[in-house]
Structure 1
Amino acid sequence: MAVRLYHLTSRLYVPVGWGVRKLADGAGSGAGAGGGTGGSIRDAGGALGKRAVAQEEQYFRKLEREQMEKLRKELHDSPSLSREAKLNAYLDRICSHEEHIRDHQQEADFHRNLALTHQAKLEYHENQIHQHQAAVAKLQDEIRKFGA
């Protein structure tokens, strides 16, 4: 029995017949536009809604890992699979890892840019603090002149 893998999402390779769940954009930020809702916690939005989405995504990632591990074990243990099928399975896994690498590189770049932006804003605000401290000191000197 040869197992044919199909690439359905950027993170998941699944055999034909397995379902894939897609979350709406902005999940956890309130009721979605799809007609259905994600439940009262997700509808409310805010931190609890985002936490619920994170837990849900964690559950599906765990389920995905378990399914992939089961599939890998079947591929590895199956003597009936041809050499070509095993090589294709390994190539699919390599592609999956390469996609994960690209995703993590994009996230790392985003956070590097965010850190640079925050550093620039920090320097701006520190400069503003110094300017206001100098203005306060100057005004205090003026007050002292009135008292003298």
Structure 2
Amino acid sequence: MLSVSRAATRMTGMVARFSAGGHGDGAGRGGGSGGSIRDAGGAFGKMEAAREDEYFYKKQKAQLQELREHIQEEVKHHEGQLENHKKVLERHQQRISEIEAQERALGKE
């Protein structure tokens, strides 16, 4: 995910260098065709571009938060499974010890 983001950032930087204007400056000058407001350029175009950037920033931030929470839930789940497996392992080892004790008792008779 980061490599795609880095590539997009690099490409955006390259496009910005080759274009005469900035984000929201109007069609054909770096703003691209993003709708009538952005095509017109000026303050409204820049404001719309800023809103769009903010939207995608918030969306990516929310996605990362959701991913982090999902992974934390998986960690808790696997920790619980680990505890259960330890308890089962302990029971099996105890049962093996009991069987060995019974075998020794039978061998003495």
Q: Structure 1-normalised TM-score?
A: 0.51
- 3-state SS of 1:88 partner: helix
Compute the displacement of 1:87 (Å).
1.7
5+ residue gaps in structure 2?
30-40
Deviations 1:67-125 (A, max 9, x none): 3334566417x6x9512222222111111110101110111121011111101211111
Counting strand residues as a fraction of each chain, which structure ranks higher? Answer: 1
Q: 1:97 to 1:72 in 2, by over 3 A?
A: farther
- Identity level (%): 13
CA RMSD, 1 decimal: 2.7
Q: Structure 2-normalised TM-score?
A: 0.67
Code of the residue aligned with 1:67 in structure 2: it is M
Q: State the partner residue of 2:7.
A: 63
Q: How does 1:26-105 map to 2 (within 5 A)?
A: 58=3, 60-70=4-14, 74-75=21-22, 81-105=41-65
Greater relative contact order (Cα < 8 A, sep 6+): 1
Deviations 1:24-80 (A, max 9, x none): xxxxxxxxxxxxxxxxxxxxxxxxxxxxxx8xx93x54432123334566417x6x9
* 2:64 is equivalent to residue 127 of structure 1: no
- Count of matched residue positions in the alignment of Structure 1 and Structure 2: 90
Alpha-carbon distance in 1 for matches of 2:51, 2:78: 40
Counting helix residues as a fraction of each chain, which structure ranks higher? Answer: 2
